[in-house]
């Protein structure tokens, strides 16, 4: 398959990127940098893309950086690999690395960072006469750093700063690399509650992510919204006995991006252009507040914009885990619906996880996507080397 056509197929999956909805039923929200929405780690990926309030681990940077002060261990690094659209192509993938460090002996605060690189592979560009001209490598890139701190015995907060860059340049004057800056604000609460005769661990979390500037791919002539998002989550870990634990989790997500206004009957081309220009001229911060109540279909459509996930994790002796989950997005807002399955193994030194996605919607190019993650506890590795 011609790689230019293949790239078009990829971006067609994110059909909302530069389109205005053509029907009063299907009205997805257009965003730039869709790779920022991809769950990078296999633990969250195995539970239906959940992570706002799941038990803290080294993968927290993407989901909720406020979880790091509650992580067992003083420092750690993790790496993830996700082949994307694997049923269509074999060289589109996400590479992700993250790490954290607790600088004090009191374990009250943590510094963390991550690097995300999403590549669309190599694309051959043809000249006007159809001959090969050059190859380009379109990609998306994000680098962030976060500071988190325990504010009470059970609650912590975090702030993340993020630099974003997207390069889809084809060597002409029409496309230029885009740059943007964003921030996350997150919180996490971890406490124990009594259920029957056992103490269950309850986690509650939120993350306001990608709050920042807009991004332009044509030198500033037009700009698009980043995928600003609010994520709310809850997780309950119940110890069946000394060796077995079952955790149930839920996440709710909503894009904080304005909803496109649908064409009106009898609309003239000039009126249509005015409507499109009005949407494009909304500021990034103004768009956040507008997104809370601007759906053309009213409250019912606003509710369609809420994505939700359910996940479960079974853990044996805090070492071996089995996971499953379900992710749901309205068929009118993107129709991402899928089941996930996963497994993990951890020791005092490292953690390895794998997850697999099975689509519940027809013709979903994310079907049969495999994610792999590997995490290391630096203190555990240091102790092993001393033995």
Q: Which residues pair with 228 in a beta bridge?
A: none
CA atoms of 180 and 142, how far apart (whole Å): 9
> How far is it, in rounded angstroms, from Cα 285 to Cα 294?
14
pTM of this prediction? 0.87
State both tokens at 131: 């001959």
pLDDT band at 138 (very low <50, low <70, confident <90, very high): confident
**Torsion, CA 280, CA 282, CA 283, CA 289, rounded to 10:** -140
Average confidence (pLDDT) over 76-93: 85
CATH number for position 13: 2.40.160.40
- Position 296 scores a pLDDT of 87
SS3 301: helix
From the CA atom positions of the chain, what is the Rg in Å?
22
Average pLDDT score, the chain: 86
Output the CA–CA distances (angstroms, integers) from residue 124 to 1, 58, 121, 133, 183, in the order listed: 11, 38, 10, 7, 35
Burial class (CB in 10 A: 0-12, 13-18, 19+), 273: exposed
Ramachandran sector of residue 32 (left: φ over 0; alpha: ψ -120 to 50; beta: rest): beta
pLDDT digits (tens, 9 = 90+) for 360-376: 886 666 788 889 999 99
Asked which of 15-19, 127-131, 233-237, 261-265 is least confident by mean pLDDT, the reply is 15-19
Q: Backbone phi, then psi, for 62, in 5-degree steps?
A: -75, -40
Q: What is the mean pLDDT of residues 47-53?
A: 96
Q: Which domain holds residue 278?
A: 3-386
Domain count, the chain: 1
Looking at residue 68, the DSSP 8-state letter turns out to be G
Residue 247 pLDDT grade (very low, low, confident, very high; cuts 50, 70, 90)? very high
Task: Give the list of residues 6+ apart from residue 105 with CB closer than 8 angstroms, or none.
Answer: none
């Amino acid at each position: 398959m011609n790689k230019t056509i293949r790239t078009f197929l990829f971006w067609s999956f994110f059909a909302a990127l530069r389109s205005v909805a053509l029907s009063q039923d299907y009205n997805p929200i257009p965003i730039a940098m869709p790779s920022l929405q991809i769950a990078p780690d296999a633990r969250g990926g195995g539970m239906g893309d959940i992570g706002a309030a799941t038990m803290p681990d080294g993968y927290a940077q993407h989901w909720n950086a406020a979880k790091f002060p509650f992580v067992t261990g003083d420092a750690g690094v993790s790496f993830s690999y996700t082949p994307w659209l694997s049923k269509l192509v074999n060289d589109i993938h996400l590479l992700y690395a993250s790490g954290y460090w607790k600088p004090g002996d009191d374990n009250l605060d943590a510094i963390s960072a991550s690097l995300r690189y999403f590549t669309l592979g190599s694309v051959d560009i043809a000249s006007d006469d159809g001959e090969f001209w050059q190859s380009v490598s379109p990609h998306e890139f994000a680098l962030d750093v976060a500071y988190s701190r325990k504010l009470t015995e059970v609650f912590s907060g975090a702030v993340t700063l993020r630099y974003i860059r997207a390069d889809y340049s084809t060597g002409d004057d029409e496309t230029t690399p885009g740059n943007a800056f964003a921030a996350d604000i997150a919180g996490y609460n971890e406490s124990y509650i009594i259920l029957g005769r056992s103490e269950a661990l309850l986690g509650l979390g939120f993350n306001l992510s990608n709050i920042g500037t807009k991004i332009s791919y044509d030198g500033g002539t037009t700009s698009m919204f980043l995928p600003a998002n609010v994520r709310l989550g809850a997780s309950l870990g119940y110890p069946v006995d000394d060796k077995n634990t079952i955790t149930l989790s839920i996440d709710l997500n909503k894009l904080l991006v304005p909803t496109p206004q649908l064409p009106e009957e009898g609309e003239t081309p000039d009126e249509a252009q005015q409507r499109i220009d009005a949407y494009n001229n909304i500021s990034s911060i103004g768009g956040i507040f507008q997104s809370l109540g601007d759906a053309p279909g009213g409250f019912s459509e606003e509710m369609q914009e809420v994505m939700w996930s359910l996940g479960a994790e079974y853990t044996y002796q805090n070492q071996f885990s089995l996971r499953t989950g379900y992710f749901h997005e309205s068929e009118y807002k993107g129709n991402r619906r899928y089941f996930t399955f996963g497994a993990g193994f951890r020791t005092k030194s490292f953690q390895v996880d794998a997850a697999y996605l099975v689509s519940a919607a027809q013709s979903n190019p994310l079907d049969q996507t495999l994610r792999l993650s590997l995490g290391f506890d630096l203190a555990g590795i240091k102790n092993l080397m001393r033995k």
